[in-house]
Copies of this chain bind each other. A is one copy, B any other.
């Protein structure tokens, strides 16, 4: 059901949406971008992207940009790249973009985004995606992609129904008869567009893996307001990060997802390779934007509570971040 030259709508043209949408447009696919605050600037100057995979510029004449999804055509693929704090807006934003077989990919952070989209538009449409990338929006229409960039994709109907269930074994039958190759076809298309992409069996495995980075690194850098390389400069920090990751490993294991035992060491080596980096949550704090707490911290905490896994460090991180978030919101109101 996926056409060979599918059309895309990018819902949320921040750093992630502009970069990945830009790559798809650069490779000649029809891509339609929803923009809000940056609309006028991109209308005048286009998208300018510096990237370790090659810089590129999309001129205004080559861009389809819109202020509202009501003005956009129906597309084959909706790519949701809004921050998860904007999830309440999706019920209104997405319907104008859907034809009967439109698929919806979420590249949002953390847990709960697929469930939210599935509850609104049906699980059969949803493709879970996780982007491993260091990418920032420097100014309107100006994106800097400094490291990594690969994506994992998986049809959501392939994932275990609940976080509480066991991981689906590779041999078990798919829960229904949807086209099993949709994520595989998209992974191929993305990879051709210079977005290295791997189709995976269970996106929740990928999500929990990425949470072992986001929870300690986004959490601690946001509280302390330091770049990742400064954070990992002391043995005390490394020790605390390892202990936080152990809490996540135990929580994931309670849902049947068994992360590799050396994942803490791997995440620390990964971070060492990244150089100085400001996490998205930390940047949100600096700019007094709402923090992505629900999907990155509170849902994992709720899973731990459900399974009675002791997670004192995750709980304290969550409390401190919620307090910071409330204080910041107050200041801006």
Interface residues in chain A, defined as those with a beta carbon under 8 Å from any beta carbon in chain B:
220, 223-224, 226, 234, 236-237, 240, 243, 312-313, 315-316, 319-320, 322-324, 327
Q: Which of B237, B312, B320 contacts A223 (CB 8 A)?
A: B320
Please indicate which of the listed interface residues A224, A243, A316, A322 has the most CB atoms of chain B within 10 Å of its own CB: A316
In the assembled complex, how far is the CB of residue A217 from the closest CB belonging to chain B, in whole angstroms?
14
Given A324-B224, A327-B226, A316:B319 Cβ within 8 A: no
Q: How far is the CA of A7 from the CA of B197 in the complex (A)?
A: 79
Closest to A237 in B: B319
Q: List 24 interface pairs A-B (beta carbons < 8 Å), by A numbering.
A: A220-B320, A223-B223, A223-B320, A224-B320, A224-B323, A224-B324, A224-B327, A226-B323, A226-B327, A234-B323, A236-B319, A236-B322, A237-B319, A237-B323, A240-B315, A240-B316, A240-B319, A243-B312, A312-B312, A312-B313, A312-B316, A313-B316, A316-B316, A320-B320
In the assembled complex, how far is the CB of residue A2 from the closest CB belonging to chain B, in whole angstroms?
45
In the assembled complex, how far is the CB of residue A77 from the closest CB belonging to chain B, in whole angstroms?
39
4 closest A-B pairs (Cβ-Cβ)? A312-B312, A224-B323, A240-B319, A236-B319
| Interface of A: prevailing SS | helix
- In the bound complex, residues from chain B placing their C-beta under 8 Å from that of A312 are 243, 312-313, 316
- In the bound complex, residues from chain B placing their C-beta under 8 Å from that of A316 are 240, 312-313, 316
Q: How far is the CA of A243 from the CA of B312 in the complex (A)?
A: 9
Q: How far is the CA of A237 from the CA of B322 in the complex (A)?
A: 10
- In the bound complex, residues from chain B placing their C-beta under 8 Å from that of A320 are 220, 223-224, 320
Given contacts A224-B327, A234-B323, A313-B316, 4 further A-B contacts (CB under 8 A): A223-B223, A223-B320, A226-B327, A312-B312
- In the bound complex, residues from chain B placing their C-beta under 8 Å from that of A223 are 223, 320
Closest to A311 in B: B312
